[in-house]
Amino acid sequence: MLHELTAHALHEKLKAREITAQELTEAVYERIAEVEPHVKGYLTLTKDSALEQASHADTGFQNGDEMPPLAGIPIAIKDVICTKGVRTTCGSKILENFVPPYNATVMTKLHEQGVVMVGKTNMDEFAMGSSTENSAYQITHNPWDLDTIPGGSSGGSAAVVSADTAVCSLGSDTGGSIRQPAALCGVVGMKPTYGRVSRYGLVAFASSLDQIGPFTKDVTDCALVLNAICGSDTMDATSVDVPVPDFTQSLINDVEGLKIGVPKEYFTQALDTEIADSVHAAIAVLEGLGATVEQVSLPHTEYAIATYYIIAPAEASANLARYDGVRYGYRNENPEDLISMYKKTRSEGFGEEVKRRIMLGTFALSAGYQDAYYKKAQKVRTLIKSDFDAAFEKVDVIATPTSPTPAFKIGERIADPLQMYLSDVMTTPASHAGLPGISVPCGLVKSGLPVGLQLLGAPFAEENVLRVAYTFEQNTEHHQQKPKIQTNGVG
């Protein structure tokens, strides 16, 4: 089935003219018609423009042109990334009818590659959440078990790749929003180093943490998408001007001589025992292939979640001040005066979780509290980064679980924000330090839900991370396991 294949396998078929991009795109939309009513991964579908883009790619292949590896490949985009002429809601009522007049830099780069954009994916509102239950529009279901969450905030982007309703997708990762849903949906998800990919056109949640990255079916596709989207950008002041290697050159099936650190702080009693067993088994596979494994310590890990829930809401409260009903987005229709318009627009336009974080952030930045909260959190963030710096002087890559538990039931944690926040306990530390990290499938728990292995590298050491991930993948079969979507009675 075409929709099940990887981008690199499809590229070979397109190049050999065994298939056309239009046939491939039609196959993906047929798959969407079959399972999307149950998975609910998309907010907007763009079939007409997708078929046009496919036709354009086909012309290139038929003319014998040297076509980029992603030409004609159906890709989905998280609805927090601006797409010119295509609705971009951020999963929020306040941007329900917002149509950007420009493309994000990553979209410009993907269009230059000749990709086919299938649609925009569901997400937690303004990327605030770990389950995709905070969307103003719908709850996305995990293809492995439709009663469970797909993770968040990029749950839609993870679910559509897992369900084969897109070949690849883009998400954003602020505290784990690519890696955690990738783990829970059994796909590959990578957060590049902060500054490696332009954030221009990514609607901001927490500007010092946000980073765009790919969801793919295997590590090779991940390297191909990174090749397409990485690079410095004058439109983004936080974009770093460093050379972008060809990441496919990192796909070496060999970890001989590499040192893998295992942080003791990630293997606590809070970690699900089946997750721990799968991750330990994965690390043992790498050791058996010639890697040296040693324990490392990241002593400030326990403060990462508390630090994150000061810094991220503080930055969010500043970034979300622009949604006031004046220039664009939702506006209350019957305000008594300007202040009333602000108040009613924001009360009606934002969901509960977004309001909670705006209030937390505003409090943390308020007079008399900024030093006690925000400034102190930034100091702890520096300590977390220093822990990683010290560890990477001894090891090449750090291996941990991606999520402390498998996917939980829809509704199970929605009334307990603290339990929900702890879903990101394994992923937020690397976000504080701006590190590259990947989640690759490494097993299933007894209930049949996927487990993710997280591999972290030093800043701009994506090549080490990809090499270890690729070697693990080539010597195991976890990435070949697919969900069997039960479509009966779920809607």
Helices and strands in the chain, H and E counts: 15, 11
* CA pair distance 29, 116, nearest whole angstrom: 12
Active site residue 239: no
Q: How many Cα neighbours within 13 Å face the side chain of 221?
A: 30
* CA pair distance 491, 398, nearest whole angstrom: 40
- Determine contact, residues 455/440, Cβ cutoff 8 Å: yes
- Determine contact, residues 39/45, Cβ cutoff 8 Å: no
CA torsion through residues 97, 100, 106, 109, sign: positive
Active-site annotation holder among 177, 239, 403, 431: 177
CA torsion through residues 336, 341, 342, 348, sign: positive
Give the chain's length: 491
- The enclosing H or E element of 48 equals helix 47-62
Does residue 317 sit in helix, strand or coil?
helix
Active-site annotation holder among 40, 78, 93, 385: 78
Active site residue 153: yes
Which neighbouring-strand residues pair with 170? 77, 214
Burial call 268-291: b when 16+ CB within 10 Å, e when fewer: eeebeebbbebbeebbebbeebeb
* CA pair distance 243, 253, nearest whole angstrom: 24
- Determine contact, residues 251/387, Cβ cutoff 8 Å: no
Q: Phi first, then psi: give them for residue 432, nearest 5 degrees.
A: -55, -40
Nearest 5°: CA angle at 121, between 119 and 124? 160
Active-site annotation holder among 130, 131, 135, 153: 153
Per DSSP bridges, beta strands 188-191 and 437-444 are antiparallel
Active site residue 177: yes
* CA pair distance 200, 220, nearest whole angstrom: 26
Which neighbouring-strand residues pair with 401? 453
* CA pair distance 119, 35, nearest whole angstrom: 15
Catalytic residues: 78, 153, 177
